[in-house]
Amino acid sequence: MKRIAIDMDEVIADFNSKMIPIFNTRFNTQISLADLEGVTIQQLRPDIKEQVEAMIGEAGFFADLAVIPHSQRVIKKLTETYEVFITTAAMEFPLSFDAKFRWLAEHFPFISPMNIVFCGNKSILNADYLIDDNARHFEHFSGEGILFSAPHNKQVRGFRRVNNWLEIESMFSL
């Protein structure tokens, strides 16, 4: 059975829709999704990088993110033919462990907790595919990286790209 590893933030969990309004309120700014084209929020505002990371790193930040459209249905279908792991780089925000674990239990109850992986360096993953919005994780990954479109990765070339979960559904002929 082939194995698919799937990232969380900006792939199945809608990070930006929560982050942007909180960011604007806290830092009295008016950024929009379009401002994040080609950059992360930390790259957009390096002057307040530490405060931004502290904001994202607060316990519970990840608890109530919206689910990316169609990800639940398509991943459930994937589990019929593939071994599916959720693989998230939670190590950058240690207080996010608990919230991320509970979020997955709530929105993806059909994924066994045994198939959840919190890691930093994703080259440790033994999988055939990795669906991720950060191309840096593909560099030393043993399988094939599939880049999930997000504003920050719009200019990234050299990888198979999908724009949404309907394209993944079609790619894997589900």
Torsion angles phi and psi, residue 121, rounded to 5: -90, 110
- Establish whether 14 is a catalytic residue: no
Residue among 97 and 159 whose Cβ is closer to a second copy: 97
CA 17 to CA 13: how far, in whole Å? 10
CA 74 to CA 78: how far, in whole Å? 6
Closest Cα partner for 147 from 165, 159, 164?
159
Residue among 35 and 98 whose Cβ is closer to a second copy: 98
CA 126 to CA 5: how far, in whole Å? 9
CA 50 to CA 106: how far, in whole Å? 30
Q: Is 63 in the site for a second copy (CB under 8 A)?
A: no
Q: Which listed residue (40, 72, 79, 115) binds a second copy by CB under 8 A?
A: 115
Least Cβ distance, residue 137 to a second copy (angstroms):
11
Q: Is 95 in the site for a second copy (CB under 8 A)?
A: yes
Say if residues 98 and 59 touch (Cβ distance below 8 Å): yes
Q: Which listed residue (22, 33, 54, 124) binds a second copy by CB under 8 A?
A: 124
Residue among 23 and 133 whose Cβ is closer to a second copy: 133
Q: Is 123 in the site for a second copy (CB under 8 A)?
A: yes
Which residues of the shown chain bind a second copy in the complex (CB under 8 A)?
3, 5, 85, 87, 90-92, 94-95, 97-98, 101-102, 112-121, 123-127, 142
